[in-house]
Chain A
Amino acid sequence: MARKFSGSWKRKPEGWTLALAILLGIAGGRYASAQDIEILQVQPNFYMIAGAGGNIGVQIGSAGIVLVDTGSAGTSDKVLAALKKISEKPIRYIIDTSADPDHAGGNSALARAGLSIISGAVGNPAFGEDVLGNNGAASVLAHDNVLSRMNAGDSAEWPTKTYTSKFYKMSLNGEGIEVFHQPAAHSDGDSFVLFRRSNVIVAGDLFDPTRFPVIDRDKGGSIHGVIDALNRLLELTIPPYPQPWLAERTYVIPGHGPISDSHDVLEYRDMVVIVTDIIQDMINRGMTLEQVQAANPTDGYNARYGASTGPWTTEMFVTAVYKGLSAKRR
């Protein structure tokens, strides 16, 4: 592997043990369990809650708790109990990465368990409708397409604030928070959330290393958008160089699966591109969808990412990619 050595070996080897302990202790080396919910520490002020549907990002600070995603409906009591273990502060803000029910299903319960970021809001005509509309509960932010997707369902779960631009920025708990829209990827309403000082990105289902990318074509998703999203995520993540043995790096909380870093995103991105290339080659050779399915274009990755049953099967993935690539050609 080519590399350029800076020749800097100044770090004393003995101190690395502490760094690794912090890395593993923080990045999931210790965890508490509230029944089947797992709490894993990612950074000193940042946690991941797993087991409530999709992964939930939790930023803790003096202002309160910022959540990214809220898990599935019905898990909110467990999520709240887990949050109590890590902070007594109220939930102040919720950001949805998508409209998926396993990521936004707890919006209403968790927002109402929280408290608006603006104190004294209830009954005060000086404050905006979004704050009053939520009766002083925590705000719920998402891309506008999330609201469009959800408006056929229970309004209590709707985001209370949406954005339509490429990104939305704010500062909370002493750090900048950037919400990036990734168009036409998993769906048309996907967002990453970057916590600058914490150096954590919550990716939602834009990055889900437990399965082949879920592409919801009916909701505007596409394979090109997925690849663009993964590339964008790679651009945003900072690897641990030039001192790769240290803990400092950007951590990525995927929609499902383990806490990750830039290398994990890279391996997943490469797999997606390789499989896409294989299917594209088959399309170029004039193969039908049925012929492509039979040729097993995901060979090499089926055991790790595939499924023959369930809500997202390998066959569904191949179909989504085939149709997405064929549509582009047209």
Chain B
Amino acid sequence: MIDKFRKVAMESLAVLLGTLLMSGPAFAQVDLSGVWGFVRGQYGQENGGGSDIGDFTGIPLNDEGRAVGLSFSAAQWSEPERQCQYYSPRYVSTGPFALNIWSDTDPVTGKIISWNMGAWIDKDIVTVWMDGRPHPSASAFHPFGGFATGTWEGDTLVIRTTHIKWSILRINGVQHSDRATMTQYIVRHGDLLSMLTYFEDPVYLSEPFVLSSVWQVNPKANSIRTSPACEPINESPRLENTSIVPHYLPGKNPFANDYARYYNLPLEAAQGGAQTMYPEFRKKLKDVYHYVPPEKCTRYCCDSPDPAVKCIRDGSGQVR
């Protein structure tokens, strides 16, 4: 009798455990921790030599955003106060450096209280609070990494970032204000980490700026959790202890038309705007501007890792 009972109990246990095996793990969360190398397959020039001055293509800039972008002078980076300035957390989405992601857990409950993405050479650590805390008020401090909270939707980590400092949207001077907010969707497919970034700025963008990017597991990628220490140096004496702020007066930026000129593009295309993001803009390029590409590529033509490929890899025009 006892033997029969034990046999039934054991086999019931087997069925139960087997059902659980079929069902898979009971937790919704995905482990995002590790070092993820940025996959260099897109954002070619943006992550290489940097976008050209006057290249605002594909950005839903409004008129004020365009005005500020055209007034920008790269010499501003020589202001002593800017030399150790972090990039905007928006730059998380386009690399080019690796992500180092780790979690912090509550020592009592073991629950993850934050995911952290750090830090690259020139970006702040982004802490994504997972404990349901609210975002602080508008009067609260804006850290370089912003204030971020996260929730799981299925196996997608959805991150909402507010309290972002005024910074650049693109290296060539397109800016975003301190009223910007960002929502990111991070999903893992095996050894790939894909991210959709939805960036809003009521001051400089007429529509959300949406980007997507992908990383791949790479324990050897160049990634550290904090940025290196940084000490400013005096690059330009004329900017020290003065009221000189490098910029171009309206209509006086001598480089404003360079990008359009390099690629035979009309200014309406080069200087951005929401219409430049959508396929129907091609009709205008074709029927109104009669766009014809340059006869051949003369700058930033390729970045193939194949050493046998000889091409122009930068703005110098030299093949190497």
Give chain A's interface residues, CB within 8 Å of chain B: 1-9, 11, 13-14, 16-17, 20, 23-24, 27-31, 38, 40, 42, 48, 50-51, 55, 209, 227-228, 231, 234-235, 239, 241-245, 251, 257-264, 266-267, 269-270, 273-274, 277-278, 281, 299-304
Contacts and interface: CB of A to CB of B under 8 A. Distances in A.
Given A17-B127, A300-B68, A303-B64, A48 B229 contact: no
Interface stretch (B34-42, B117-125, B257-265, B274-282): B117-125
Contacts of B244: 273
Contacts of A17: 104, 114, 116, 127
B245 interface: yes
Interface in B218-245: 224-233, 235, 241, 243-245
Contacts of B229: 5-9, 241-243
B88 to A, nearest CB: 12
A73 B101 CA distance: 50
Contacts, number: 189
A258 B249 contact: no
B43 interface: no
A28 B141 contact: yes
B299 interface: no
B64 A1 contact: no
28 contacts: A1-B84, A1-B122, A4-B230, A4-B231, A7-B228, A13-B118, A16-B118, A16-B225, A17-B116, A20-B125, A24-B136, A31-B136, A38-B137, A38-B139, A40-B139, A234-B81, A245-B124, A251-B141, A262-B81, A263-B144, A263-B165, A267-B165, A269-B245, A281-B249, A299-B64, A300-B67, A302-B64, A303-B204
Interface string B35-53: 0000000000000000000
A270 B227 contact: no
A92 B227 CA distance: 43
Contacts of B141: 23-24, 27-29, 42, 251, 258-261
A24 B127 CA distance: 11
A266 B81 contact: yes
A326 B138 CA distance: 37
* B interface, size bucket: 35 or more
A48 B64 contact: no
A275 to B, nearest CB: 10
A299 B204 CA distance: 11
A29 B136 contact: yes
B203 A304 contact: yes
Contact of A5 (B82, B85, B230, B235): B230
A48 B81 CA distance: 25
B250 interface: yes
Interface stretch (B9-17, B19-27, B70-78, B190-198): B70-78
A51 B138 CA distance: 11
A24 B85 CA distance: 19
B179 interface: yes
A302 B124 CA distance: 29
Query: Which residue, A20, A242, A257, has most C-beta atoms of chain B within 10 A?
Result: A20
A241 B225 CA distance: 17
Contacts of A40: 136-137, 139-140
A251 B79 CA distance: 20
Contacts of B247: 270, 274, 277
Nearest to A8: B229
Nearest to A227: B243
Given A258-B139, A277-B247, 8 more contacts: A20-B127, A31-B136, A50-B139, A228-B243, A234-B81, A264-B142, A273-B243, A304-B179
Given A31-B136, A270-B245, A241 B84 contact: yes
B319 to A, nearest CB: 29
A227 B64 CA distance: 23
Contact of A245 (B64, B83, B119): B119
Contacts of A304: 177, 179, 203
A242 B231 contact: yes
Nearest to B135: A29
B165 A264 contact: yes
Contacts of B85: 1, 263
B97 interface: no
A27 B233 contact: no
B84 A244 contact: yes
Contacts of A269: 245
Contacts of A231: 241, 243
Given A239-B81, A260-B141, A244 B230 contact: yes
Contacts of A259: 139-141
B144 to A, nearest CB: 7
B232 A4 contact: yes
